[in-house]
A and B are shown apart, each in its own frame.
Chain A
Amino acid sequence: MVLTMEKIQDTFDPKPRKFIVWLFVVSSTIMFGGFTSYYLVFAASKGKGHGLVLPDAFIYSSLVIIASSITLVLASKAMRKLNFSLQRNMLWLTVILAVAFGVMQFSAWSSMVKTGATLVGNNAAISFIYVVSGLHLLHIIGGVGLIINALVGSYKNISPAKSNYRMEIASIFWHFIDILWIYLYVFLLLNR
């Protein structure tokens, strides 16, 4: 009995699990959709948005996160060509860029605080910037976890199917949070 079960389970099918990641992406999109619709209704009913010139650090962090997506694509390409050392280097680079992104978000917040646009204040639209960028940063932490998971997989001797799966879910999620940030940034630029 146990033997037959093991035989059946031998094949590793990544498809349903990858699908889970996609569904998570969907639900996360909905959550940020909820936030931004809060903002739209708020701004429409009050006749005002956050009214700030967004700190330059947000531009740099946007560039950094786009770069991190590119390095992740390069890592996937390297893995497909079986060039594992390049894959690892690119993954490390992605992690470093992710950390840089986090640092820039913090510096953006601190420059906002300096100009008096603090989290707690009379304008919920300004508080909103902190909340959405903060929640996005939580997603970044999760994404870094997935990249490190792929990295660990490439150092350890796991089957190519699994290693491939880890890379794929890291990529799905990371490109998603990249696009998500661009969306949030453009949204905040357009709805001042």
Chain B
Amino acid sequence: MSTIALHDEHNHDHADHGHHKETLISKYIFSMDHKMIAKQFLITGIIMAVIAMGLSILFRIQLAWPDQNFPFLETFLGKWAEGGRIKPDFYLALVTIHGTIMVFFVLTAGLSGTFSNLLIPLQIGARDMASPFLNMLSYWFFFTACVIMMSSFFIQTGPASGGWTVYPPLSVVAKAMPGSGMGMTLWLISMVLFVASSLMGGINYVSTILNMRTKGMDLWKMPLPIWAFFLTAILGILSFPVLVAGVVLMVFDRSFGTSFYLSDIVMGTTILPNEGGSPILWQHLFWFLGHPEVYIVIMPALGISSEVISVNSRKPIFGYHAMVYSLIGITVLSFIVWGHHMFVTGMNPLLGGVFMITTLIIAVPSAVKTFNYLATLWRGNIRFTPAMLFAIGLVSFFISGGLTGIFLGNASLDINLHDTYFVVAHFHLVMGSAAIFGMLAGVYHWFPRMFGKMMNAKLGYLHFWLTFIAAYLVFFPLHFLGLDGVPRRYYAFTEFEFMKKWLTVNVFVTWAAIMAALAQVAFLFNFFYSIFKGKVAPQNPWEANTLEWTAPVEHIHGNWPGEIPTVYRWPYDYSKPGHDEDFIPQTVPFSQTMSSNLPHDFEGNAEAEKIQQDWELANPVEENKG
């Protein structure tokens, strides 16, 4: 007890576990417990997702019925929808903020923040993160970023509206459009806080995984979600700082009058004094982050579905090592493909060719992962839990969205498809659908671990089928608009002769989007109702092998009472021949499973192999009497 005297010193060096009496504030608000922080990230992420989905419904209404008035819009939006019709400036703000929230706040912070925080300490056997304080700070930076981003809806000129990629000059010249003023400033402040939050989180995750694994948990015994979170965090650490560099230069351009990104700009009749900069340089800095960012979005979802599919197929994951190596491959490759976002910037064709090749190579690890999912499902003893359905849904979207990636990665095709609805369809299938489905799979699967309650399966099925069908109905038709050359972000299809024929498709897509949005009500009700009134969860509801299911259902600081369990085997011993149950948790030593051990289980340990051989001689396998 020698530390007691030190507690009063308020030094942040100390891991504050379980010493202090928990108050409402320290438990629910400024919590340093990774499980509570995970819930904070999840609920904030869900709220942001609902908001961003609402924004998308607003602009879908505009796209479907550009000539009709909807008085209720004016009621909600006031002067931004005078006469019940959304204004062009506000339309652009809607698509910008929808993209920003979904990519960064939902699929980066909501996904990594929730599941990395929840699962890393629980699945590797640690009491908490390397720095619980930094972890808490990470959440509160994220929360502040969300508040600031939303506050831009309450200013006169409205939110940023130059697109989520905030290309200069729209993002730099404050007078360029209404959203380029205060709204853009708030966007930048919010993103700086967000990047700080991501870095604090990512650094913590990496340090925890490398330094705090329990006894026996070597890297090759880690569950696949942990591998995915680990590589995702590395991606974040290596790419977000470049965005910071770009944003700093942008802030200087906006606020101090430097010319990092500006040159030769004429507004109306006035010539701006800025000279010598280049807007293309922003695109380089942005996409050096931006491309790894899309893998930051999808990799945790892939990791989660690996686990969910294996558990619910009652089969070992097919190609565990191949899964890890393909994640590593994606991680490495994602840093050398950013140029494929810039094929039409006048890039040297040779350089474009290089980016094209690196981009297409990413199809290899992605395909390895896809086939491994399918091979895991193949002849499995499948349990169609809601989590499993969402994981299978991820595989489906990952295939259909991934295929169009091969089109877009080709420089010659991309010149036609760039900035059309084809791109919109592509990234909504892989990010907007696949990654969201991975996240939902995680929510359904680990809800019992988070809240100690079960979610209602029937509502889960309803949620899945409506969302799955609606998502395809929304995004599949958009490919054809893109092939026809319809550009994204256009306000009214009625203004262009060649786009008019797509109006009916837009009406269809909007109805499908409304159906998808309504389907989420089933989820939201299920989620919040089950937190309070759900059936109490058993210790290990899915009969899974990983460590988190050995921790008590009631949450305690430090995760396990007494010693942290030791790990003896990999996490995917499902349906192992010779064992009486179809799963063997990681904490079960081989000495207790003599009837199912295989020679390669002992990793070349001669003594253990000898013991196993002696046992097998003493206990010959009974002949099949059937």
Contacts and interface: CB of A to CB of B under 8 A. Distances in A.
Interface string A114-151: 00000111111001100100010000000000000000
A38 B130 contact: no
A45 B257 contact: no
B275 interface: yes
A5 B559 CA distance: 10
Given A6-B1, A10-B2, A131 B248 contact: yes
Interface stretch (A20-28, A63-71, A89-97, A184-192): A20-28
B622 to A, nearest CB: 45
Contact of A42 (B19, B246, B252, B281): B281
Nearest to A22: B207
Contact of B278 (A4, A10, A45, A158): A45
Interface string A58-93: 000000000000000000000000000000000000
A31 B241 contact: yes
Interface stretch (B32-40, B208-216, B385-393, B520-528): B208-216
Contacts of B1: 6-7, 10
Interface stretch (B198-206, B367-375, B435-443, B597-605): B198-206
Interface in A28-50: 28, 30-35, 38, 41-42, 45-46
A4 B3 contact: no
Interface string A153-192: 0001011001001100000000000000000000000000
A30 B199 CA distance: 12
Contact of B11 (A16, A19, A20, A158): A158
Residue from the set A32, A127, A158 with the largest chain B CB neighbour count within 10 Å: A127
B284 interface: yes
B276 A46 contact: yes
Nearest to A42: B281
Nearest to B206: A23
B277 interface: yes
Nearest to B15: A9
B172 to A, nearest CB: 12
Nearest to A10: B3
Given A9-B19, A120-B256, A166-B13, A20 B241 contact: no
B266 interface: no
B288 interface: yes
A170 to B, nearest CB: 12
B180 interface: no
Interface string B202-240: 111011101110000000000000000000000001111
B241 A34 contact: yes
B17 A9 contact: yes
Contact of A5 (B13, B18, B239, B245): B18
B131 A17 contact: yes
A5 B17 contact: yes
B210 A19 contact: yes
Contact of A38 (B208, B244, B257, B281): B281
A53 interface: no
Contact of B127 (A8, A45, A158): A8
Given A16-B212, A34-B246, A127 B259 contact: yes
A132 to B, nearest CB: 9
A14 B15 CA distance: 10
A45 B348 CA distance: 12
B203 A24 contact: yes
Contact of A123 (B6, B208, B211, B276): B276
Contacts of A12: 3, 13-15
B497 interface: no
A5 to B, nearest CB: 4
A42 B561 CA distance: 58
Chain A interface: which size bin?
35 or more
A6 B19 contact: yes
A20 B558 contact: no
Contacts of B173: none
Interface string B256-272: 11111000000000000
A27 to B, nearest CB: 5
Nearest to B204: A20
Residue from the set A23, A121, A159 with the largest chain B CB neighbour count within 10 Å: A23
Given A6-B18, A45-B278, A119-B258, A159 B556 contact: no
B242 interface: yes
Contacts of B244: 31, 34
B285 interface: yes
A33 B239 CA distance: 11
Interface in B1-42: 1-4, 6, 9, 11, 13-15, 17-19
B134 to A, nearest CB: 7
Residue from the set B212, B249, B258, B281 with the largest chain A CB neighbour count within 10 Å: B258
A127 to B, nearest CB: 4
Contacts of A159: 6
Given A16-B211, A20-B203, A123-B276, A26 B256 contact: no
Contacts of A30: 237-239, 241-242
Contacts of B558: 5, 8-9
A146 to B, nearest CB: 12
Nearest to A48: B276
B508 to A, nearest CB: 44
Contacts of A131: 248-249, 252, 258
A124 B258 contact: yes
A23 B237 contact: yes
Given A26-B237, A124-B258, A158-B6, A17 B18 contact: no
A6 to B, nearest CB: 6
B256 A5 contact: no
Nearest to A11: B3
Given A10-B3, A46-B276, A27 B203 contact: yes
B147 to A, nearest CB: 24
B579 interface: no
Contact of A4 (B239, B288, B562): B562
Contact of A165 (B13, B202, B257): B13
A35 B284 CA distance: 12
B557 interface: yes
Given A27-B237, A120-B257, A131-B252, A42 B207 contact: no
Contact of A119 (B130, B206, B246, B256): B256
B241 A38 contact: no
B211 A158 contact: no
B241 to A, nearest CB: 4
Contacts of A135: 248
Contacts of A10: 1-3
A5 B259 contact: no
Interchain residue pairs A-B with the least CB separation, the first 7? A34-B245, A16-B130, A31-B241, A34-B242, A16-B211, A5-B18, A30-B241
30 contacts: A2-B19, A5-B556, A6-B1, A6-B3, A8-B558, A9-B19, A12-B3, A17-B13, A19-B130, A19-B206, A20-B203, A23-B202, A23-B206, A23-B207, A24-B199, A26-B238, A28-B241, A34-B244, A38-B245, A38-B249, A42-B278, A42-B281, A46-B276, A119-B252, A120-B257, A122-B275, A122-B276, A124-B276, A162-B11, A162-B14
Given A19-B206, A30-B242, A131-B248, 11 more contacts: A6-B18, A9-B18, A12-B14, A16-B210, A17-B207, A28-B241, A30-B238, A31-B241, A38-B260, A42-B281, A124-B277
